[in-house]
Structure 1
Amino acid sequence: MANNLQVWEVAEPYLDLHCLLGEGPYYEEATHSLRFVDIRQHRIHTVDLAAGPESLKTLELDVPVSVTVDIEGVDPRDKIVVGLKYGLAVLDRKTGQYEYLQKFSAGEGLGQSKAPVDYERVRGNDGAADPHGRFWLGAMTDFNLGDFQPEGGLFRIDTGGKASTLIRPDLTIPNALGFSPDNRTLYFTHTTDDAVYAFDYDLEDGHLSNERVVYRHTAKGSPDGFRVDVEGNLWHAVYGSGRVLKISPKDGSILGEVRLPTNNITCTQFVGTELFITTAEDEAAEGGETSKALGGAVFRVDVGVKGLPLFKYKLSV
């Protein structure tokens, strides 16, 4: 760890919401709002950042919702794309109705064996749109099925929902995905490997090559979600550690850390130079009583650098 480590201390939550599994923060630029989800409670929360925490609105679905993304050319107040139990769907935010674009079962089977896959066992997890407007969505063991198994995978859903391609099988907890400032590198976290992988990303066709590990986590906790800043550094939540790490992908060194008062940190999102941070419950008080009390809250801190904007999904092609 660098001797001149930058440190930010955060004591109070921005939203003391008590999510069971807060995740997927996304900046809705059109409305200057922050969206995020509670996967286990099937909820999408939205807060108007100009109006403040009192403006919080919640939409509850009938299945786990893990990630959201704006649609290119569509008002996000009307429709967005969401990662759900069975795959990627378009959500009408006014009615709460959704329609699947692609289900995991429509792609190739998960796992290296040719045996049939029980898609009831998996659910969507984290993901992101790419520069071509496609969406990359992870699948993993659903809740209440015992220990997570290597039965998940990373899927790429083409624009317009035309096709689903299994990019990596046999994953246990596929997590966040993002891009370098020049869009030539794709980063992907596999939590159960304690690793952030990098791939060369072809700007012409989106082909991946030259897989390598850019960060290996060896300390307390496990890497969860991240965002990339304009300087190319990753701001990575570490579940079970009460930390967000600022990581250089050049050599995997830790340049800074945000210290939080609760244990289970899940993901980050830039709004200007402010970093918004989602968390999950700490019912067992593994991080202490304060950690238990603030588990599931949303925090924010000014870290002095802006983040890269997230890509939108192309529904019309």
Structure 2
Amino acid sequence: MRRLPIRSLAGLTAIGLLALTGCGAKTVGSAVDTAAGAGGERTIRARQVMQLTTVHPKTGMTLLEGPVFDEDGKLLVVDVTAPAGEPKVLRVDIRRKTSREFHTDDRGTYTSAQFSPHDGRVYLTDFSHGDIVSLAPDGSDPRTFFSGEVDGAPMNPDDLAFDQEGNLYISDSRGMSEGVAKGRVVRIDRDGKDATVLADGLAAPNGISFDVDYRGLWFSELTQNRISYLLLDGKGRAVSRHIAIRVDGGIAQTDSIAVDARGNLYQALHGRPAMAVYSKNGERLATVEVPARAAEGLTSATNVAITPGGTQAYMTVSGPAGGYLYTFDALAKGIRQSNGG
């Protein structure tokens, strides 16, 4: 949101509210086939499930993000660039291939969604206004959970992760529009009263997810194409951080992150309808791609949700051709860390 920044948001442009100007061939399940990639890793070809949105005339874009399964198995998806009055959060029935409006308003630029383990509500990050908004599980009762400055500076909250007690961890892409590394990782307690900066001096932090054991956080930096690991002390305080993975993205940049039951990282790519999959030790395991014949007009794969307890993954893909849901078989089962955020 920048001159506007260049994130998986792909770059807000100033329109009204601010509109966002990602070895041997074989079959894996019913959704994908694989081949050897350039580095020896697998190439997983995703299959289209359905189209969810078209480009909004008022904003000139559509950008799907933050897929998360609710308790009924329906998938919530945010449309970052939806204008006032149009669905900003969609509830998708994958089996029937239908969707309906879950939430809209005249203000929010929502970039992620996740259910809290503390109160069961769904939390949304409003990138443009620095707010964290929560909704009841049925989409009613909107509340502003957190708003205002953190350590004297406003936030541009992008993605979020919850710890097991329901405290929030936010990737704050502050400074993206200026191209200056002043982004942060921010912790907000589950009551919304205390906010703490855990890491700063970051280059447009975007994806964020706990590892399998909740010992630390993985987070990506969009404008540096890297993933870092932030070790925590068990009380939500940072112990150390280091650059863990440098992503060979070419023209694509690191967007949202999900983690499966084996600890594998699914790194979404802005600028290409694909995801890179890494082991927790940094080994490139696979690349998930939209088939070439379908990729025209699709410019990013922003995020993924893996069915809790299963391996079916659903990836949000967008571009001038519209907003789509694609599916593939994940390398391991879905957990909280691969469901929303």
**TM-score, normalising length from structure 1?**
0.78
Deviations 1:66-105, CA, capped at 9 Å, x for gaps: 2222233656xxx422222322222246675533222142
Q: Is the 1:199–1:212 contact (alpha carbons within 8 Å) kept by the matching residues of 2?
A: yes
Task: Say if 2:96 is the partner of 1:67.
Answer: no
Q: Which residue of structure 2 lines up, in the alignment, with residue 81 of structure 1?
A: 123
Q: Which residue of structure 2 lines up, in the alignment, with residue 257 of structure 1?
A: 287
Name the CA shift for 1:216/1:73 in 2 (closer, same or farther; >3 Å): closer
Q: Is the 1:239–1:266 contact (alpha carbons within 8 Å) kept by the matching residues of 2?
A: yes
Moved more, 259-268 or 162-171: 162-171
Q: Residue 308 of structure 1: CA displacement?
A: 2.1
Aligned mates of 2:219, 2:118 — CA distance in 1: 27
Q: Residue 6 of structure 1: CA displacement?
A: 1.8
Name the CA shift for 1:71/1:131 in 2 (closer, same or farther; >3 Å): closer
Q: Which residue of structure 2 lines up, in the alignment, with residue 212 of structure 1?
A: 242
Q: Which residue of structure 2 lines up, in the alignment, with residue 166 of structure 1?
A: 197
Name the CA shift for 1:146/1:90 in 2 (closer, same or farther; >3 Å): closer
Which aligned pairs between 1:239-278 and structure 2 lie closer than 5 A? 239-250=270-281, 252-260=282-290, 261=295, 262-271=298-307, 272-278=310-316
Q: Which residue of structure 2 lines up, in the alignment, with residue 181 of structure 1?
A: 212
Task: Say if 2:117 is the partner of 1:90.
Answer: no
Q: Residue 24 of structure 1: CA displacement?
A: 1.0
Any idea what SS the aligned residue of 1:31 has?
Answer: coil
Aligned mates of 2:249, 2:265 — CA distance in 1: 17
Which aligned pairs between 1:137-156 and structure 2 lie closer than 5 A? 137-140=170-173, 149-150=180-181, 152-156=183-187
Q: Going by fraction, where is helix more abundant, 1 or 2?
A: 1
Name the CA shift for 1:311/1:188 in 2 (closer, same or farther; >3 Å): same
Aligned mates of 2:315, 2:139 — CA distance in 1: 28
Aligned mates of 1:65, 1:274 — CA distance in 2: 25
Name the CA shift for 1:259/1:97 in 2 (closer, same or farther; >3 Å): same
Task: Say if 2:31 is the partner of 1:5.
Answer: no
Deviations 1:235-291, CA, capped at 9 Å, x for gaps: 1111112221111221x221111111233111111112111111232x4xxxxxxxx
**1:224 aligned to 227, 244, 255, which one?**
255
Aligned mates of 2:160, 2:139 — CA distance in 1: 24
Q: Is the 2:102–2:138 contact (alpha carbons within 8 Å) kept by the matching residues of 1?
A: no
Q: Is the 2:311–2:333 contact (alpha carbons within 8 Å) kept by the matching residues of 1?
A: yes
Aligned residue type for 1:82 = L
Q: Residue 129 of structure 1: CA displacement?
A: 1.0
Q: Which residue of structure 2 lines up, in the alignment, with residue 290 of structure 1?
A: none
The alignment of Structure 1 onto Structure 2 pairs a total of residues equal to 282
Query: What's the % identity of the aligned pairs?
Result: 21
Q: Is the 1:128–1:177 contact (alpha carbons within 8 Å) kept by the matching residues of 2?
A: yes
Structure 2 unpaired stretches of 5+: 1-36, 56-61
**TM-score, normalising length from structure 2?**
0.73
Structure 1 unpaired stretches of 5+: 111-118, 284-292, 313-317
Aligned mates of 1:15, 1:55 — CA distance in 2: 10
Q: Residue 206 of structure 1: CA displacement?
A: 2.2
Aligned mates of 2:89, 2:103 — CA distance in 1: 5
Q: Which residue of structure 2 lines up, in the alignment, with residue 286 of structure 1?
A: none
Any idea what SS the aligned residue of 2:336 has?
Answer: coil
Aligned mates of 1:58, 1:89 — CA distance in 2: 14
Aligned mates of 2:168, 2:190 — CA distance in 1: 8
Q: Is the 1:102–1:164 contact (alpha carbons within 8 Å) kept by the matching residues of 2?
A: no
Any idea what SS the aligned residue of 1:192 has?
Answer: coil
Q: Which residue of structure 1 lines up, in the alignment, with residue 77 of structure 2?
A: 36
Aligned mates of 2:211, 2:80 — CA distance in 1: 27
